[in-house]
Copies of this chain bind each other. A is one copy, B any other.
Amino acid sequence: MPKSLPPSQLIPRLLAGDRLALSRAISRVEDGGDNARELLAGVFPHTGRGHLIGITGAPGTGKSTLVTGLVQAYRAAGLTVAVLAVDPTSPFTGGALLGDRVRMSKLSGDAGVFVRSMATRGSLGGLAGATADALLLLDAAGYERILIETVGVGQAEVEIAGTAHTTVVVEAPGLGDEVQAIKAGVLEIADIFVVNKADRPGVERTVGALELMLHMADGTPRQLFHHGQLLEVAAAPLEDESDGWQVQVFKTVAASGGGIPEVMAEIERHRLWLAENGRLAARERLRMARSVEQIVQAELLRRLRAALPADSLAELVEEVAARSLDPYAAAEQILDRMG
């Protein structure tokens, strides 16, 4: 397949399940080139079928092993699975690629599995935008379950995982004195908690801490993260989400496969629960509102850069650094010049 295949030829191949076409398409949305927009418009009507499963947690919890186990379980159940590993890591550490290699060796040769990592920051809408676009492509390619694995416990990672239909938060015993979840607002996004490495000492303490937190938060509406909140009002609120779904804590030993079938069953139970009473539709509206918002923001930034020559910006910044102009006044000048 030539590298420069136009979207009109790439799209039908991708929709037919051609893995190379899918891989090329993801690279193009990562690069944010001219074809990206056309590609996404072409596949978009074919999306909305795959179930998106976000998996997040602190480093050291064994997320990757858990994800590999879930892929195997889903394959055994006859479903096709894609994995998108999102790692906003400095490029030279190469963490994402290493993880992929380990996984690929376990999963390679199975045409029903597709694994890809995203480690870019350079794309138009940032990492979150590139991830959303890649998810659309995986969805259009027909994968029935799409796992989004994010590394880290920060807000950005939690937000990306929080865009999924079902979000699994992974903990492990002995990662420090504090329960990791408390530190990143993951309570707000977790549909399922997993305590992995459950054969280690301290597992009951970690499970207990999570259950206590869940108990404390009981009745607090579950929220999808909403950073910019531009379109918040536009997406129907998820007001009925607080009743009906009880977040539970599962124990796994992913390295030996222990507990994985139960987690898979819980994800499926959540999927069916979402499908009832229009909850999935409400969540889709919020997901799409976020997506549109990210694109709008990225485009505004692009226009701003295009409208203002670099040297007049440099002059303004110089004045601010010299304390002769305050940052808000400088921002006003920039916005004025933009029109």
Taking Cβ atoms with an 8 Å cutoff, the residues of A that contact B are 37, 40-41, 44-45, 47-48, 58-61, 87-90, 92-93, 95, 126, 132, 151-158, 172, 174-178, 180, 182-185, 187-188, 213, 216-217, 220, 227-228, 230-231, 233-236, 281, 284-285, 288-289, 291-292, 295-297, 299-301, 304-305, 310, 313-314, 316-318, 320-321, 323-324, 326-331, 334-335
Contacts and interface: CB of A to CB of B under 8 A. Distances in A.
A321 to B, nearest CB: 5
Nearest to A305: B230
Contacts of A216: 92
B230 A321 contact: no
A281 B321 contact: yes
Given A288-B321, A321-B288, A334 B296 contact: yes
10 contacts: A59-B153, A59-B183, A88-B185, A90-B188, A93-B187, A175-B175, A285-B317, A288-B317, A292-B320, A295-B331
Contacts of A178: 59-60
Given A156-B154, A292-B334, A321-B284, A93 B233 contact: no
A323 B156 contact: no
Contacts of A61: 176
Given A288-B317, A289-B317, 20 more contacts: A40-B326, A44-B323, A59-B178, A59-B183, A60-B177, A87-B183, A90-B187, A93-B182, A152-B153, A152-B154, A152-B184, A154-B155, A154-B184, A156-B156, A233-B313, A234-B314, A285-B318, A288-B327, A292-B330, A299-B335
B304 A230 contact: yes
Q: How many monomers of this chain does the complex have?
A: 2
A199 to B, nearest CB: 15
Main secondary structure of the interface of A (DSSP, over half): helix
Contacts of A296: 304, 331, 334-335
Contact of A89 (B47, B89, B182, B318): B182
A233 B314 contact: yes
Contacts of A175: 60, 175-176
Contacts of A236: 314
A157 to B, nearest CB: 5
Given A152-B154, A230-B305, A314-B235, A327 B292 contact: yes
B234 A317 contact: yes
Contacts of A314: 233-236
A54 to B, nearest CB: 15
